[in-house]
Structure 1
C-alpha cells in the first residue's frame, strides 16, 4: 500500500469509529474486533492490499508496542483507587505473581510435552502469553479514578503489575536458550532479574511519582502560581522513569505503573491535607482533587490533566497495532498448535491459576470465574515476543512463536470481545 492509501485507510477507520461510537457501545462487538476485521480483510488472507511481517519488522513493532504499553500502564495507574491499602491490593498482587508463575509453568509444560518445544522455548512462550493486557482490556478495566468496582480494579491492577512481573520469566526462557546469562545455579537470575529489577523498578516509580506530585503542587501554590502543561509532565514522567529503569536494569513497566499510582495518590493526599473543612465527597471517591475551602475550586493535577490525552494515545495505538495484527495473518496461521495453546491458556491455565492464587482471599466463586475468564491477551504479548527476537531468538523458533502468539492475541480479541458485554452486564446485575 502507498502512503496515500494508508492515510485513507486509517483516516476512514477513525472517521467511521468516531461517527458510530454510540452504536458501538450498544452493540455486541468491541472496537478491537473491528480493527482486527479490517486488517484481516485488507491483509494477505482476503484483499492482499498489504502484509505486515512481524519477524522482518520486529524492531519497529518492538518500539510501537513498547510505547503503547507504557502509555496504557500510566493511564491504568492514575485510575487506581485512593488510598492504597495492602488488604485491597492483596488480590491483584497474588494474581500478578502466583497466578502469573503458575500460568507460565503450565503453558511451558504444555509446549514441552505436547508441542515438543525445547524447555527454554516453552518457558519463553509461557512468559509471552501469560500476562494480561492493559491496552486491549478497556471494557473490563477501571473506567475512572472513582470507579469502586472490585472486579475491574483487580483486572486493571493485575494488568498494570504483571507486565513487569512477566519479564523475569522472559529472560529465564531466553537464558535456557542460551540468549541471556543466568549465572551459576540461576543465582544471577534470582538476584538481578527477579529481586533487584523488581524492587528497584517499584522504588524508582514511587520516588519519581511522589517527587513530581509534590513539585507540581508547590509550583501551583502561592507565591509561584504557575500554569503547568500536564500532558507534557505525564509524558515526561513516563520517559524519565522508563529510561532510568532501563539504565539500571530495573523493570521499566513496573516503574511506570507505580509512578502513576504514586503520583495520583500523593496528589490527593496533598489536596486533602490543605483542606481546612471536612473532606468533600468528590475527594473521598478519588474523582477530583480540590483545594481552597472558601471557593471550592477544583485544583488541576498532573494525573487528571494528562489522563484524557493518554487515553486518546492509547486508542490510537490500539487502532494501528490491532490493524497490523489482522494484516499479519494467513489462512495457514491457524495451525492446530497455535489454536491448542490459546484454548489451553483460556480454558485451563488461566482459570486454574486464578483459582489457586485467590485461595484464602475470600473472593467469591463468581468473582474468581470472571477474573479467570477475562485475562485478555494483546499488545504486551507482542512486545515480549519482539523483545526476544531482537535479542537473538533463532529464526525458525521465532517464526513458530510468532504464529502462536498472533493466534492467541486474535482469539483473545474475538472470544473475550464477544463475551465481555453480556457477561459483565449479567455479573453487575446479579451483584
Structure 2
C-alpha cells in the first residue's frame, strides 16, 4: 500500500474503534483480536494487500516493541494499590521469579526434546515466551489506581515484574549460543545479569520515582503553586530511568516499573500526611495539598499511547503471518505453554500463599503472551542470533502470540464475569 492508502486504512480503523467501545464491551472479543483479524485479512494470509517482514525490519520492530512495553510498564506501575504490603505482593513476586524459572525450564525442555532445538536456542525460546504481557492483557489487569481486585493486581504486578525478570534468561540463552559472555562457571552471568542488573534496576527505579514525586509535590505545594506538565514528566521519568539503567547495565524494564510504583506510593504517602487526607489510594481533597499528582496526570496519556501501540503492533503481527506459518510445531508449542507450562509454573510459584482455588485457576490460564515476547525476539536477533534460528524462533513466537490473543481474548470476558458474579477476587 502507498502512503495515502495507509492513512485511509489506519485512520478508518481508528474511527471504527473510536465509535464502537460500547459494542465491544458487550461482545466476547477484545480490540487486539480485531486488530489481528484485520491484519490477517489484509496481510499475506488472505488478501496480500500488505506484508511485514520482522526479520528484515527487526531493528525497527525492536524499537517499537520496546517503547510499547515501557509505556505499558509505567501505566501498570502507577495502578499498583497503596500502601505497599508484603502480603499482597508476595504472590506476584513469586510468579515473576519462581514461576518464571519453571516456565523457562519447561519450554526449554519442550524445545530440545520435541522441537529439536539446541540447548541455547531452547533456553532463549523459553525466556522469550515465559513473561506475561503488560500491553495486551488490559482486560485482566488493574483498571485504575486504587483498583483493589486481587486477581487483577496479581496479574498486573506479575506482568510488570517479569518483563524484567525474563532478561537474565534471555542473556543465558544468548550466552549458551556463544553470543554473550557468561564467565567461568557462569559467574559473570550470575553476578552481572542476575544480581547486579536486577538490584540496580529496582534501585534506580525507586530512587528516581521517589525523587520525582517529592519534587512534583514540593513545586505544587509551594507558595507559587507551579503548574506542571504531567505527561512530559511521566515520559521524562521513563527516559531518564531507562537511560540510567542502560548506562549502568541494569534491567531498564524493571527500573521503569518500580519507578512508577515508587512515584505513586510516594505521592500517596505525602498526601496521607496532610490534614483530612484519606488513608488509602483516592486522591486528596484540594485543601490537603496538590489536587493533582504526576502519576495520575500522566496515566491517561500513557493509556492512550498503549492503545495506539497495541493497534500498530498487532496489525504488523497479522501482516507477518502466512498460511504456512501455522505449523503443527508452533501450534503444539502454544498449547503446551498455555495448558501445561503456565498452569504448572503457577501452582509451583504460588505454593504457600493460600491462594483461593478459583483465583489460582484464573491466574494459571491468563498468562497472556504478546508484545514483550516480540521485543525479546527482536533483541536476540539484533544481538547476532543466526538467521536460521531467527526464522525458526520467529515462526514459533509469532504463532504463540497470535494464539494467545485469540484464545485468551475469547475467554477473558466470560471468565471474568463468572468470577464477579460469584464475588470471588
- 1:114-137 Cα shifts (integer Å, max 9, x gaps): 111000000000000000000000
CA distance in 2, matches of 1:359, 1:366: 15
Unmatched tracts of structure 1, length 5 or more: none
Backbone CA RMSD of aligned residues: 0.9
- 1:271-300 Cα shifts (integer Å, max 9, x gaps): 111x223x43xx52x13233525xxx8611
> Corresponding residue for 1:255?
255
> Corresponding residue for 2:402?
410
Runs (4+) of structure 1 exceeding 2 A deviation are none
- Is residue 2:297 matched to residue 1:302? no
> Does the aligned pair in 1 maintain the 2:99–2:349 contact within 8 Å?
yes
- Is residue 2:49 matched to residue 1:49? yes
> Corresponding residue for 1:331?
323
Unmatched tracts of structure 2, length 5 or more: none
Match of 1:287 among 282, 292, 317: 282
> Corresponding residue for 1:137?
137
> Does the aligned pair in 2 maintain the 1:43–1:50 contact within 8 Å?
yes
* Paired residues for 1:349-428 under 5 Å: 349-428=341-420
> Corresponding residue for 2:151?
151
- Is residue 2:101 matched to residue 1:90? no
CA distance in 1, matches of 2:384, 2:282: 46
* Paired residues for 1:48-127 under 5 Å: 48-127=48-127
- 1:204-257 Cα shifts (integer Å, max 9, x gaps): 000000000000111111223110000000000000000110011000000000
> Corresponding residue for 1:213?
213
Measured after TM superposition, the shift of residue 174 of structure 1 is 0.3
CA distance in 1, matches of 2:143, 2:48: 37
SS in 2 for 1:292: helix
> Corresponding residue for 2:32?
32
CA distance in 1, matches of 2:379, 2:127: 12
> Does the aligned pair in 2 maintain the 1:39–1:324 contact within 8 Å?
yes
> Corresponding residue for 1:348?
340
Check 1:230–1:356 CA distance in 2 against 1; reply closer, same or farther (3 A cut): same
> Corresponding residue for 1:9?
9
Measured after TM superposition, the shift of residue 87 of structure 1 is 1.1
> Does the aligned pair in 1 maintain the 2:220–2:290 contact within 8 Å?
no
CA distance in 1, matches of 2:218, 2:123: 48
CA distance in 1, matches of 2:241, 2:414: 39
